[in-house]
Amino acid sequence: MRRFTPALLAALTLTAAVTAVPAAEAAQPPGSRTDGCTSTACHFDVPPGAYDVRVVLGGDAASSTAISGETRRALLPETAVPAGERLALSFTVNVRTPEGEPTGAAGTDGLDLALGGAAPALDRIRVTPARHTQQIFLVGDSTVCDQPGDPYAGWGQRLPQYFHKGVSVANYADSGESTVTYLGNPQLWATVQPQISRGDLVLIQLAHNDKTTDEGTYRANLETLVAGVRDKGGKPVLVTPIVRRWFNADGTLNNGTALLVNGLGVDHPAVVRAVAAGRGVPLVDLTARTKALVESLGVEGSKALYLYNEKRDNTHTSVHGATVYAGLVRDELLARHLVPKGMVRVG
């Protein structure tokens, strides 16, 4: 972790008026923000790293505020605060370049936060370098990645909002990647692996683009990723892929298209499960969880999870769907005691 001098630490902190207000700010309304924030956004000139963000939400009127950052990452779920009250909350955010997909645009330097929600109200904000962080790296494809624009969203993009301060999600998922291309592109695995430290979690979900990968190669690639995480002292977690919304006439998803069986007959979820069992790796069976959910919602109800209405897309998720699927991942991590319960937002 980069070391910071006291002067730099001070430079990284923005605070707004609380009770005592400097004379220069006396004419501003109570709770106004200092340089670096507007009514809808904040910017901090910080180098890449993990940062703790403490916000105080609320104002004279009733408010409802959500916070996102960098490439549309959900960092704080929408939170209501009654009129005249204030609520302090904290979260940890990963700042990197490129700020979204590893092979995408670099984005802007520093940390950018966006204020959303029905009636956003930010009273104070402070950003400081994170000291003790549980890092979660994500290795995946377009169903996981930080999607750059609406209406698309990956579940990894919506995952950070489910964690309190102390957990940083570094999403290195990238659109269009298979196990073959992820291992072969120096911007991907060769960039992620050196950053893994002892105790870091690395969630791996790759299958959607392994359409021409034979079973032996697919299995070997997963094992290579698992071994690479362990070589750095990290904890690999294998994740089966989210289902495609492809119904049979009987209302089930019991077909190869929905359940990620490729043209060579490779049953990707089955191979992931087998590697997890054989290598003693924790498994998040997202295929089983998403299959059950999509089937329970039915043909019509499940459309909102995907981009069917917008794009006739039964593979990629909407913001709503990505949020729901990220919640399933959170639940699985909790159930397997992979993250401390006290660092997880539930409900």
List, for residues 294-336, the tens digit of each pLDDT value.
Answer: 999 999 999 999 999 999 999 999 999 999 999 999 999 999 9
Q: Is 270 exposed, middle or buried (0-12, 13-18, 19+ CB in 10 A)?
A: middle
Maximum pairwise Cα distance, the chain:
72
Can you tell me the mean pLDDT for 151-169? Answer: 97
Measured from the Cβ of residue 35, the count of other Cβ atoms closer than 10 Å reads 6
CA dist 248 and 269 (Å) reads: 19
Question: Tokens at residue 44, please?
Answer: 């901090």
* Phi, psi values for residue 176, rounded to 5°: 80, 5
Q: Is 290 helix (H, G, I), strand (E, B) or coil?
A: helix
**Which of these, 73, 265, 323, lies nearest to 173 by C-alpha position?**
73
pLDDT band of residue 12 (cuts 50, 70, 90) is very low
- At 346 the pLDDT is 86
What residues does 125 pair with on adjacent strands?
55
What Rg value do the Cα atoms of the chain yield, rounded?
A: 21
Residues above pLDDT 70, as percent of the chain: 90
**Between 346 and 304, residue with greater pLDDT:** 304
CB 206 within 8 A of CB 140: yes
pLDDT band of residue 36 (cuts 50, 70, 90) is confident
Residues above pLDDT 90, as percent of the chain: 88
- At 11 the pLDDT is 35
Q: Is 139 helix (H, G, I), strand (E, B) or coil?
A: strand
User: Is the pLDDT assigned to residue 14 strictly greater than 80?
Assistant: no
CB 289 within 8 A of CB 332: yes
pTM: 0.90
Q: Is 287 helix (H, G, I), strand (E, B) or coil?
A: helix
**Which of these, 23, 43, 33, 190, lies nearest to 107 by C-alpha position?**
43
User: Is the pLDDT assigned to residue 83 strictly greater than 50?
Assistant: yes
Distances, alpha carbon 190 to alpha carbons 81, 141, 168, 178, 193, in Å: 44, 16, 20, 15, 6
CB 156 within 8 A of CB 100: no
Measured from the Cβ of residue 279, the count of other Cβ atoms closer than 10 Å reads 14
pLDDT tens string 232-281: 999 999 999 999 999 999 999 999 999 999 999 999 999 999 999 999 99
Number of helices (H) and strands (E) in the chain: give both, helices first.
9, 14
* Phi, psi values for residue 330, rounded to 5°: -55, -45
CA dist 290 and 294 (Å) reads: 6
CA dist 243 and 153 (Å) reads: 15
Question: Tokens at residue 94, please?
Answer: 């990963």
Question: Tokens at residue 34, please?
Answer: 């200092």
Host H or E run for residue 181:
helix 179-184
- At 124 the pLDDT is 95
Can you tell me the mean pLDDT for 192-204? Answer: 97
Question: Tokens at residue 87, please?
Answer: 């609520």
Can you tell me the mean pLDDT for 52-81? Answer: 97
